[in-house]
Structure 1
């Protein structure tokens, strides 16, 4: 729940929360290393060689890379599913226009589905929910496309092409909904944050005899970790968060299919 609440915040709060956490842990580690109450104990740890820092930092870097790869892959999959859905619906419309038979009802069903997705379903994606209105519009579209009479009017080849494109749109919607239901991988995020704190601790151990260098090393690493993890956090969820994917492609397709209003009479 805490990770989800953090990822729901604006960009500046995501970065600010991360910076506050690493600043607090960095100051605590520095105080434990250089404070009067613990200085005698920390002095007994002097002698940890500098390469030790690399063993912890590599683990942090590897897991951060895996986390970033997962986030970027989800965003690519979401973009592909939206574009595939748009292309399939546009193809249904183009095939209906190329047919000799009057297929105005089919084109109206395509427009109704697009409008339901853009206006009703898209705001629900941030919570991983589907729209009953969009589901109903899709069923109506499939009913129009699967009408056996179309085979007589269009021919088997054209009717099969229409069915394939409609089913492609249905499959793309299913992929989009599946991606919206994927919540953040909490254990992976907690592991990355713990490794970030352990890397701060490793930096403190290799600079026990030089307080100023210790503070500078912890501060520089903490700033770098905020930049890296903050960038991953704002891209963690494709349909939610500050940089959520917008239905631009579907909205443009709807505008293309909406008949222009007749000019007003003077």
Structure 2
């Protein structure tokens, strides 16, 4: 994520929190100090159970929404682990072969990991699609496995496993790229904001007898809404802010193989 994008990202979060407290202040003014206060004061018999009903709706919707966002992060992390496992399996199979067969595969594998971490990962953090370099690096890995010395120099069963692992790498990479493009639905954010506003309104209406008590209740609920809003917003994309770790793939760049010692 660039500095400008990060500033916009954090700015929107701060704006959302300020809007929550501003809404609470507006409701306090309308109910207790504005010329509309007598109308709101006429609603003093509103049942406190209304707060529980609206609050539960807000809590449930926020929970489901946050669960969707965090599931995206979990699926992205799973894809990374699967990609790294396929790469490690390919690495271990390659190092068991002779140098003229195994070293080209290991070199292509390390190049793939390097391009993934140094080129592709920053693009994912910026919310951009995958680079052509990442796909080219995978193609080079596939060419290394399909090279004549490998095809002719290893048993058919071993070569089949090598190809299978290369395909697993591509499948996991595609899944990782897919998850990087998923974000929170704007309509769901709008629904969360509306339910939060209705929750604040019901809190204000059941504390019409004392504006100080009303202020305290509004501030407490505003803080609770801000916490849930912040937690969901910071996790809206798995590769932004609290990014998933690329470490499982990065480790392959520096992992020593048996062929390095020959």
User: Do they fold alike, i.e. is TM over 0.5?
Assistant: yes
CA-to-aligned-CA distance 1:202-237 (integer Å, 9 cap, x gap) = 101111122221111111011111112211211121
Shift of 1:90: 1.3
After TM superposition, list the pairs within 5 Å mapping 1:97-246 onto structure 2: 97-100=95-98, 102-126=101-125, 127-147=127-147, 150-240=150-240, 242-246=241-245
The total of aligned residue pairs comes to 255
TM-score (norm 2): 0.90
Say if 1:258 and 1:136 are closer, same or farther in 2 by CA, change over 3 A: farther
Structure 2 Cα separation of the partners of residues 118 and 237 of structure 1: 18
Segments of 5+ residues of structure 1 without an aligned counterpart are none
TM-aligned CA deviation for residue 19 of structure 1: 2.5
In the aligned structure 2, how far is the partner of 1:23 from the partner of 1:194? Answer: 14
Partners of 1:119 and 1:135 in 2: how far apart?
A: 14
Report Cα offsets for 1:221-261 as digits up to 9, x if no partner: 11111112211211121012x212232222112111589x9
Question: Which has the larger displacement, 193-202 or 14-23?
Answer: 14-23
Q: Given the superposition, is the C-alpha separation of residues 235 and 163 from structure 1 closer, same or farther in structure 2, using an over 3 Å criterion?
A: same
Matches within 5 A, 1:59-78: 59-78=57-76
SS at match of 1:244: coil
- Per-residue CA deviation, residues 172-213 of structure 1 (Å, 9 max, x unaligned), is 100011011113211101110111111000101111122221
**1:99 Cα offset (Å):** 2.5
Alignment partners' CA distance in 1, 2:73 and 2:48: 38
Give me the CA root mean square deviation: 2.4
Q: Distance in 2 between matches of 1:248 and 1:7?
A: 26
Give the one of 55, 79, 82 matched to 2:53.
55
Counterpart CA distance in 1 for 2:6 and 2:117 is: 27
Structure 2 distance, partners of 1:6, 1:225, is 23
Structure 2 unaligned blocks of 5 or more: none
- CA distance in structure 2 between the partners assigned to 1:248 and 1:231 by the alignment: 24
Give, in whole Å, the separation in 2 of the partners of 1:233 and 1:149. 51
Q: TM-score, normalised by structure 1?
A: 0.88
Which of residues 15, 32, 35 is equivalent to 2:33? 35
Whole-angstrom distance in 2 between the partners of 1:7 and 1:177: 24
SS at match of 2:44: coil
Alpha-carbon separation, structure 2, partners of 1:246 and 1:226: 27
> Pick from 23, 26, 37: which aligns with 1:25?
23
Output the CA distance in 1 between the equivalents of 2:221 and 2:139: 54
Residue 18 of structure 1, CA deviation: 3.1
CA offset digits 1:40-96 (Å, max 9, x no partner): 111222210110111111110011101111121111111111111111111111101
CA distance in 1 between partners of 2:13 and 2:165 (Å): 43
